[in-house]
């Protein structure tokens, strides 16, 4: 999972209108109740690009502080007000936790601004048990795709074509898998999600208000169970093998031993160094569209912006500037991810392909109950694809669904 954490890269530093503070992780800005500058917590690689965008906005001084990515969410819960940030950048699956604890504020962009984003990107940063509110502006979207070595195989337009060519390569090169997708003993529900959605699986349903419903667990819904016989077929022919890890896929794909790898943009560097020609596409539909999970990175305004008397400025920067196509084009290019704004352009053609492969994808659920899903759903795939505790797919996913529902209560 660590290889899919979205991180923003670097831009050359632009000075104008930005108050800079060069600090290490954990060092805070001390401010009184009537602060005049905005403080943003970012991870180290994000600093330069956020500084440049803040300078272009230019309506107030901005201090960009480096903070350990893994500590941003938890430290926001314990930080003293005088040391607290007004804005943070982070993934959408923090929203449920932070909103429940009253640590981030709802945002109200104009209808024209919202129309520039796909509905699922806005949904990713929306949360509420009764009425959903938007708690962050999406900046980047990250997802996995099917990478195809175009010298070894044609880009498949049907799953039957993908299956046939993958098995032919498996036989020719004496591989233990047809489609390379990482799992390992712990399972990997994230990388297996295109197969899960393609068979009709879902994590949580929605209630009448359109909110995720943790009481509706779709891991073993009737449509998925009906289609799960295909997993048994894949298991028998060795199309997917749970014992396959990231390094196995990286080695096989860069050595042109397999034409197909389900992975994300973090793998591109190794592939390009190996000189492999490839294209990134969405996994072909199985019984339904084989859409991936989406990770959406965005900007959130904390409750401390109001404490520091910079609430209006913080929301203007996040809602009216960081949302624009120009800002998102720059931020996405720096981060090596596709921009969330539909009018922004992914400068890198490979990023554009990943962006297209993510269309229609499902944001990872941002409600706290999602923590009860990952392990059991991953293990359901392990058991049904040549892993430990092997059993027929229908039984494996029913076991997982029961365990998840029990944990959620």
**Model pLDDT, residue 16:** 32
The least confident of 171-185, 248-262, 334-348, 392-406 is: 334-348
**Model pLDDT, residue 30:** 54
Beta carbons of 100 and 78 less than 8 angstroms apart? no
Q: What is the mean pLDDT of residues 269-289?
A: 98
**Which has the higher per-residue pLDDT, 359 or 399?**
399
Partner residues linked to 284 by β-bridges: none
Intrachain domains 2-142+295-363 and 145-291+373-408 with the same fold? yes
Strand 212-217 vs strand 137-142: parallel, antiparallel, or unpaired? unpaired
pLDDT tens string 245-271 = 999 999 999 999 999 999 999 999 999
Nearest to 179 by CA among 229, 122, 239: 239
**Model pLDDT, residue 394:** 98
Instruction: Give the list of residues 6+ apart from residue 310 with CB closer than 8 angstroms, or none.
Output: 35, 36, 37, 38, 60, 86
The CATH superfamily label for domain 145-291+373-408 reads Periplasmic binding protein-like II (3.40.190.10)
Nearest to 52 by CA among 16, 89, 28: 16
User: What percent of the chain clears pLDDT 90, i.e. is strictly above it?
Assistant: 79
CA distances from 287 to 80, 119, 146, 205, 398 (A): 52, 24, 17, 19, 19
- The residue extents of the domains of the chain are 2-142+295-363, 145-291+373-408
Task: Specify the residue for token string 């560097």.
Answer: 269
Task: Specify the residue for token string 């050595």.
Answer: 255
**Model pLDDT, residue 209:** 79
Beta carbons of 63 and 106 less than 8 angstroms apart? no
- pLDDT band for position 33 (cuts 50, 70, 90): low
**Model pLDDT, residue 7:** 32
* Measured distance CA(95)–CA(101) in Å, rounded: 10
pLDDT tens string 75-101 = 999 999 999 999 999 999 999 999 999
- pLDDT band for position 11 (cuts 50, 70, 90): very low
Instruction: Give the list of residues 6+ apart from residue 62 with CB closer than 8 angstroms, or none.
Output: 17, 18, 19, 37, 38, 39, 40, 51, 54, 55, 317
* Measured distance CA(343)–CA(329) in Å, rounded: 9
Q: What is the mean pLDDT of residues 5-17?
A: 31
- pLDDT band for position 346 (cuts 50, 70, 90): confident
Task: Specify the residue for token string 């209808």.
Answer: 111
* C-alpha atoms less than 13 angstroms from C-alpha of 120 in its C-beta half-sphere: 18
Structure tokens at 270: 């190794």
In CATH, what number does 2-142+295-363 get? 3.40.190.10
Task: Specify the residue for token string 């529902």.
Answer: 405
* Measured distance CA(355)–CA(281) in Å, rounded: 9
Q: What is the mean pLDDT of residues 208-230?
A: 94
pLDDT at 208 exceeding the cut of 80: yes
**Model pLDDT, residue 12:** 25
**Model pLDDT, residue 272:** 97
Length of the chain: 409
What 3 state SS string does the chain have?
A: CHHHCCCCCCCCCCCCCCCCCCCCCCCCCCCCCCCCCEEEEECHHHHHHHHHHHHHHCCCCEEEEECCHHHHHHHHCCCCHHHCCCEEEEEHHHHHHHHHCCCECCECCCHHHHCCCCHHHHHHCEECCCCCEECCEEEEEECCEEEEECCCCCCCCCHHHHHHHHHHHHHHHCCCCCCEECCCCCCCCCCCHHHHHHCCCCCEEECCCCCEEEEEECCCCHHHHHHCHHHHHHHHHCCCCCCCCHHHHHHHHHCCCCCEEEECHHHHHHHHHCCCCEEEECCCCCCCCCCCEEEEEEEEEECHHHHCCCHHHHHHHHHHHCCCHHHHHHHHHHHCCEECCCCCCCCCHHHHHHHHHCCCCEECCCCHHHHHCHHHHHHHHHHHCCCCCCCCHHHHHHHHHHHHHHHHC
Beta carbons of 303 and 177 less than 8 angstroms apart? no
Instruction: Give the list of residues 6+ apart from residue 217 with CB closer than 8 angstroms, or none.
Output: 203, 204, 373, 401, 404, 405, 408
Task: Specify the residue for token string 């001390």.
Answer: 30
């Amino acid at each position: 999972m660590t290889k899919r954490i979205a991180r923003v890269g670097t831009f050359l530093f632009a000075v104008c209108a930005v108050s800079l503070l060069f600090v290490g992780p954990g060092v805070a800005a001390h401010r009184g109740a009537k602060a005049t500058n905005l403080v943003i917590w970012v991870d180290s690689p994000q600093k330069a690009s956020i500084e440049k965008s803040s300078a272009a906005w230019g309506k107030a001084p901005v201090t960009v502080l480096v903070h350990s990515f893994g500590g941003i969410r938890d430290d926001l819960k314990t930080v003293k007000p005088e040391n607290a940030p007004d804005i943070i950048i982070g993934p959408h699956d923090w929203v449920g936790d932070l909103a429940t604890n009253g640590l981030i504020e709802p945002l109200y962009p104009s209808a024209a601004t919202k129309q520039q984003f796909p509905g699922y990107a806005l949904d990713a940063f929306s949360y509420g048990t009764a009425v959903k509110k938007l708690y962050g502006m999406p900046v980047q979207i990250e997802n996995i795709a099917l990478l195809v070595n175009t010298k070894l195989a044609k880009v498949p337009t049907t799953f039957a074509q993908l299956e046939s060519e993958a098995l032919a390569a498996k036989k020719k090169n004496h591989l233990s898998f047809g489609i390379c997708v990482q799992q390992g003993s712990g399972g990997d529900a994230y990388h297996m999600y295109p197969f899960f959605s393609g068979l009709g699986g879902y994590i949580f349903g929605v209630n009448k208000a359109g909110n995720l419903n943790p009481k509706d667990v779709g891991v073993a819904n009737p449509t998925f169970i009906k289609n799960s016989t295909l997993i048994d077929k894949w298991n028998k022919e060795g199309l997917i093998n749970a014992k396959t890890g990231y390094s196995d896929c990286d080695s096989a794909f860069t050595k042109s031993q397999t034409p197909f790898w389900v992975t994300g943009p973090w793998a591109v560097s190794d592939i390009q160094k190996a000189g492999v020609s490839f294209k990134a596409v969405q996994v072909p539909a199985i019984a339904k569209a084989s859409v991936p999970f989406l990770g959406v990175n965005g900007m959130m305004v904390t409750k401390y912006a109001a404490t520091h008397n910079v609430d209006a400025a913080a929301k203007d920067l996040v809602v009216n500037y960081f949302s624009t196509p120009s800002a998102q084009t720059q931020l996405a290019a720096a981060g090596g991810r596709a921009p969330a704004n539909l009018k922004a352009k992914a400068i890198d053609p490979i990023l554009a392909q990943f962006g297209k492969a993510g269309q229609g994808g499902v944001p990872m659920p941002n409600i706290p109950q999602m923590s009860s899903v990952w392990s059991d759903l991953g293990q359901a795939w392990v058991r049904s694809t040549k892993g430990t505790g092997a059993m027929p797919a229908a039984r494996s996913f029913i076991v997982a669904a029961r365990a998840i529902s029990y944990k959620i209560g």
